[in-house]
Chain A
């Protein structure tokens, strides 16, 4: 990275903090409650709070399970859709239809089917993460160079060998982009999902803090959520650079 780039990245962060501080200085007392200094003390107090770390772990675990389910279903489905134009045509309209529905609108369905607890959260996170994975995987398979497929066929490959030796690897960068997008939406859905039916996790903790008028903690949790989002995105971005060809 160029030194000037680092400078600008740092300036962007500092500028945002300054803006935040500026607005929290307003005479409106409700805005003042969210000021950066109180938020910072709340953040520091989190470090020695086991309940915070538990909630964090709980949220990350739900995220991992949800994305894991989405990937386990979405990658094979995406490959089949990308490979077979018949399956593509069969699934196109239903999938586009379901994809456009906000994942959170499934909440009542999820709760009726899976009861109260982590089940509905897994469900909502997976359904949010599923579509980017399916769509990107399918697009990746369709974008594969036809000649690679023909080379494999001429070397004796049938459908399965073509998928295994050519398409999965050639689609890997697309799958990773899908996972990256999935992570983004899953992280977005996770927090409201945790406000609905569970008694742990970062989403729940935000509501909990609000109930006792602890606005500094609300802000601190929001910062943690945003920061974790960046942290989760980064390794995928680096992996993507490594496997691109």
Chain B
């Protein structure tokens, strides 16, 4: 993968009261192999940033660069995982995972599809319809669907937020395992400090709306992480403090009158 640069990106939305600045200006570089967790309170523009990274939304200002090349629109080499699995209910798990190849008019690499299904840990459920899957398994299938095309970067928007706490821990472990084995780059949106601490090699904290970068904290801890270790607790404290500080960094001028 190449370097993904977010270059002075801004996003405004039209509201009744005028133009609302939701995001930015925001600068961030994501390096190959990183596991970046973007942490911020609800409504701070995380999903908006994720949609811009995915190419589902165009920024109002600024650019997205992949290896210094401006990019726009969606691209299967940026794999996306939504907050809910968003599997096509009329297709089986295997057909859902293979969908990208069909859409791009490619021959479906059966073995790669099977391998990816195994990698995310839902082998045996290839011919099951999504309705029969639990929330966690459905989200695994959604991850497989994004992974099977060998994306440069995996973009995930609070993918485990809707799961129960225990399943969420399991999913985090599964995702870390995949990240280490496949040496991919992950951009992971979350509003949960513990989730960020469990996963990230770097935590990026966003301010409340309009979302900007409040702080960036490297987490140079190997996996599996010991959540009771002094170093872990120290870093967790730093992240929490920065998050609290970020609340004060948000300027009051949310509305730009048009």
What is A's interface to B at a CB cutoff of 8 Å? 145, 147-148, 150-157, 161, 165-166, 169-170, 243, 245
Contacts and interface: CB of A to CB of B under 8 A. Distances in A.
A150 B56 contact: yes
Given A151-B80, A245-B90, 16 more contacts: A145-B86, A148-B86, A151-B86, A153-B55, A154-B55, A154-B76, A155-B76, A155-B99, A155-B145, A156-B74, A156-B100, A156-B104, A166-B88, A169-B90, A245-B89, A245-B129
Contacts of A151: 80, 82, 86, 88, 99, 145
Interface string B54-96: 1110000000000000000011101110101010111000000
A161 B131 contact: no
A154 B56 contact: yes
Given A150-B56, A154-B54, A154-B74, A165 B103 contact: yes
Interface residues of B, number: 25
A174 to B, nearest CB: 13
B87 to A, nearest CB: 8
A147 B84 contact: yes
Given A154-B74, A154-B76, A165 B86 contact: no
B107 interface: no
Contacts of B129: 245
Contacts of B15: none
Contacts of A155: 76, 99-100, 103-104, 145, 149
10 contacts: A151-B80, A152-B99, A152-B103, A153-B74, A155-B99, A155-B103, A156-B75, A156-B76, A161-B103, A245-B90
B49 to A, nearest CB: 16
Given A150-B56, A154-B54, A156-B74, A165 B80 contact: no
A147 B86 contact: yes
Contacts of A154: 54-56, 74, 76, 78-80, 146
B102 interface: yes
A147 B103 contact: no
Interface in B116-146: 129, 131, 145-146
A242 to B, nearest CB: 11
Interface string B39-59: 000000000000000111000
Nearest to A164: B103
A145 B90 CA distance: 13
Contacts of A245: 89-90, 129, 131
A165 B56 contact: no
Q: Which of A145, A148, A156, A169 has the most CB of B within 10 A?
A: A156
Nearest to B80: A154
A151 B80 CA distance: 8
B59 to A, nearest CB: 17
Contacts of A166: 88
A118 B203 CA distance: 73
Nearest to A152: B103
A73 B232 CA distance: 65
A147 B82 contact: yes
A153 B73 CA distance: 9
A77 to B, nearest CB: 23
Q: For the complex of A and B, list the 6 residue pairs with the smallest distance between their C-beta atoms, beginning with the closest.
A: A155-B100, A245-B89, A147-B86, A156-B76, A154-B80, A157-B103
A169 B103 CA distance: 14
Contacts of A161: 103
Q: Which of A151, A166, A170 has the most CB of B within 10 A?
A: A151
Nearest to B102: A165
Contacts of A145: 86
Nearest to B77: A156
A168 B204 CA distance: 41
Given A147-B82, A151-B82, A156 B88 contact: no
A147 B74 CA distance: 14
Q: Which of B103, B145, B146, B149 has the most CB of A within 10 A?
A: B103
Given A147-B86, A148-B88, A170-B90, A153 B100 contact: no
Contact of B103 (A150, A156, A243): A156
A167 to B, nearest CB: 11
A145 B86 CA distance: 9
Nearest to B73: A153
A47 B5 CA distance: 79
A161 B102 CA distance: 9
